[in-house]
Amino acid sequence: MILREFSLEGKLAIVAGNGRGWGNYLAIALAEAGADIVIAAPGGKGIEETAKKVRKMGRRALAISTDIAKSSEVEEMVERAISEFGKIDILVNSPDLEFARPFLEVSDEEWDQVMNINLRSVFLCTRAVGKHMLERKTGRVINVVPGLAVRGLSNCTAYCAAKGGVLQLTKALSQEWARGNIRVNAIGHGWFSEEERSEEEQLKDPLVRYIPLRRLGRPRDLSGLVVLLASDACDYINGQVLFADGGVLAHV
Amino acid sequence: MILEDLNLEGKVAVITGGGTGLGKAMSHALAGAGADVVVAARRVGPIEETASEVRGMGRRALAISTDVADSQQVERMVERAISELGKVDILINNAGIGGEQVTKPIWEITDEEWRIGIDTNLTGAFYCSRAVGRHMVERGSGRVINISSGYGLRGGRDNFMYCCAKAGVVLLTRSLALTWARDGVRVNCIVPGFFATVPLDRPEIRQYIESTARFNPMGRVGEPGDVGPLAVFLASEASDYVTGEIFCIDGGGLAGGYTPTGYAPIIPLKG
Ligand SMILES: NC(=O)c1ccc[n+]([C@@H]2O[C@H](COP(=O)([O-])OP(=O)(O)OC[C@H]3O[C@@H](n4cnc5c(N)ncnc54)[C@H](OP(=O)(O)O)[C@@H]3O)[C@@H](O)[C@H]2O)c1
């Protein structure tokens, strides 16, 4: 039965982020498909709540408070994940620090922070987990990016550069680790909203009128993609960015 | 639950070129996920074989001999699929000719070769989408999956008809996706890299495949079964917010720009 190939039972996934954006939803999606979860983000109730939800689904879960832009904390988090679960099969990097300011007004500190959270964290987490994956000769790395990783927007130069950097990291590393049996891919999202809003209400938003599917993304809209790329069903997709964005990029 | 979203039970899929290669693998995959399957290509033997394999998996199947380059045959095929199986939920435009067989110096390509190639690879996808599309739009639901090629995104030496037709398939995908976005129809494209779909009995073919594999980042060529799960995902509810998107499945070939793999010097920082 082909649907069984999508199952993540017996696998351990780390979802690393800064507590914003898609991390919690992707953790739930991976758990739905059967994975045990480590959720790593800077403290707070958010990640503990997600871990509780995962446990309610009958999976093991651990929330590890981590500053993902800090090398020592990332190393500790990965060691702890391995000592508790014995291995790591899947790494999802989904940090998101939004930032917009006219280019000439961007300070050194702002630039560094945008890069640290959005790009450096992906480097640190992937390096720490990748060492372990290469030893086991198996693994899946999935980086989460917005449409601004591939298209430009005024006042968003720093953010676009960081997210574009994640995509280039994805492509280059997909080459370097291909023979190590590790797949490195990215999934992309468009505009999304965590609250359910009626179609009518959504259409008042000019942004929504620009989305071919005429609705904002929902928290579940990346679930299928992340499970596809995390699973054994999919071995030959590598170095790609795959979007679930309601068709926005079909305009481009 | 996400795994339930991938279930295709009760859906009907039309797969062109489903008698061999990738089309056969996708027929098996969709049937394995629960779909009934209509297999359409010119030769009766291969499509009958796929259809009987699908029946063996407990699903309904029809083999309908069809030349996708002939719009009347396409219309009849779709009418028959709808009248016998009730509806069409999924269309996979996979029939195609080309690849390495059609590469030759431009002045040796005949009008006829060019025309037949474009008619099969591009116009065929247009005819099938047109024939199934009205039905899908009226029902407010449907999935179209077009099979392009790495050669639809990159150039190839002496490769004209195939590159142009497959690039056309990419933009057919995007324009259909935008056009039917509000009609519940999702349109996406699979871009396969090199897949071993020819019989491996001849030594020169085995050699060719081995040398191709060496230049792939993953060190192997695709197996037809590799595309199955991707087709299931794109045919299913799990891809509801995905449209107009291109899914390369090539082991990482395009991501690296098809440079020789393994050539990776180490350059230390200076100063
Ligand atoms: N294999 C690869 O490496 C590769 C790479 C990139 C893209 N692709 C694409 O993937 C698709 C499947 O290729 P494949 O490798 O599986 O090759 P294949 O085994 O030759 O399959 C092509 C199928 O298309 C059918 N077909 C050809 N002309 C047709 C027509 N006029 N009307 C109806 N059906 C027609 C053929 O059946 P009949 O001859 O019986 O009609 C055949 O079953 C093609 O579109 C191909 O361009 C393949």
Can you give the CATH number for the domain in which A105 is found? Answer: 3.40.50.720
pLDDT tens-digit profile of B134-148? 999 999 999 999 999
Domain count, chain A: 1
User: How confident is the model over B103-129, as a mean pLDDT?
Assistant: 96
Residue B236 lies in a domain: yes
DSSP E strands in chain B: the ranges are 12-16, 36-41, 61-65, 90-93, 142-147, 185-192, 246-249
Contact A224 B229 (CB under 8 A): no
Predicted confidence (pLDDT) at residue B100 exceeds the cutoff of 80: no
Give the residue, out of B14, B64, B197, B226, with the most ligand 1 atoms within 8 A of its beta carbon, to mutate for a pocket test. Answer: B197
Handedness of CA A83, A84, A86, A89 (dihedral sign): negative
pLDDT tens-digit profile of A107-119? 999 999 999 999 9
Token output for B50: 């796929």
pLDDT tens-digit profile of B207-259? 999 999 999 999 999 999 999 999 999 999 999 999 999 999 999 999 999 87
**Chain B closest-CA separation from residue A166 CA (Å):** 13
Q: Whose CA is nearest to atom 31 of ligand 1?
A: B67
Q: Which residue of B has its CA nearest to A224?
A: B238
Owning domain of residue A243? 2-251
Evaluate: CB of B41 within 6 angstroms of ligand 1: yes
Which CATH number is B182's domain given?
A: 3.40.50.720
Contact B217 A179 (CB under 8 A): yes
**Could you give the CA distance from residue B218 to residue B249 in angstroms, rounded to a whole number?**
12
**Could you give the CA distance from residue A213 to residue A223 in angstroms, rounded to a whole number?**
18
Predicted confidence (pLDDT) at residue B265 exceeds the cutoff of 90: no
The chain-wide mean pLDDT, for chain B, equals 95
User: Measuring CA to CA, how many Å separate B110 from each of A56, B157, B168, B242?
Assistant: 66, 17, 20, 39
Owning domain of residue B108? 2-192+227-249
Q: Report DSSP state, residue B54.
A: H
A2 neighbourhood in chain B, CB within 8 Å: 29, 32-33, 228-229, 232
Give pLDDT, residue B99.
Answer: 63
Confidence of residue B102 (pLDDT cuts 50, 70, 90): confident
> Which residue from B119, B126, B116, B118 is spatially nearest to B146, judged by alpha carbons?
B126
In the block, which residue shows the tokens 């009626």? A198
DSSP E strands in B98-184: the ranges are 142-147
Residues 30-59 of B with CB under 8 A from A: 32-33
Residue B216 lies in a domain: no
ipTM of model: 0.94
Give pLDDT, residue B259.
Answer: 77
Give pLDDT, residue B250.
Answer: 97
**Could you give the CA distance from residue A102 to residue A68 in angstroms, rounded to a whole number?**
27
Q: For every residue of chain A, which 3-state class applies, written as one string?
A: CHHHHHCCCCCEEEEECCCCCCHHHHHHHHHHCCCEEEEEECCCHHHHHHHHHHHHCCCCEEEEECCCCCHHHHHHHHHHHHHHHCCCCEEEECCCCCCCCCHHHCCHHHHHHHHHHHHHHHHHHHHHHHHHHHHHCCEEEEEEEEHHHCCCCCCCHHHHHHHHHHHHHHHHHHHHCHHHCEEEEEEEECCECCCCCCHHHHHCCHHHHHCCCCCCECHHHHHHHHHHHHCCCCCCCCCCEEEECCCHHHHC
pLDDT tens-digit profile of B178-192? 999 999 999 999 999
Domain count, chain B: 1
**Could you give the CA distance from residue A1 to residue A184 in angstroms, rounded to a whole number?**
26
Given a cut of 50, the residues of chain A with pLDDT beneath it are none
pLDDT tens-digit profile of B20-69? 999 999 999 999 999 999 999 999 999 999 999 999 999 999 999 999 99
Residue B256 lies in a domain: no
Give pLDDT, residue B198.
Answer: 86
Contact B182 A212 (CB under 8 A): yes
Share of chain B above pLDDT 70, in %: 98
- Interface size A-B, in CB pairs within 8 Å, comes to 152
Residues 212-231 of A with CB under 8 A from B: 212-214, 217-218, 221, 223-225, 227-228, 231
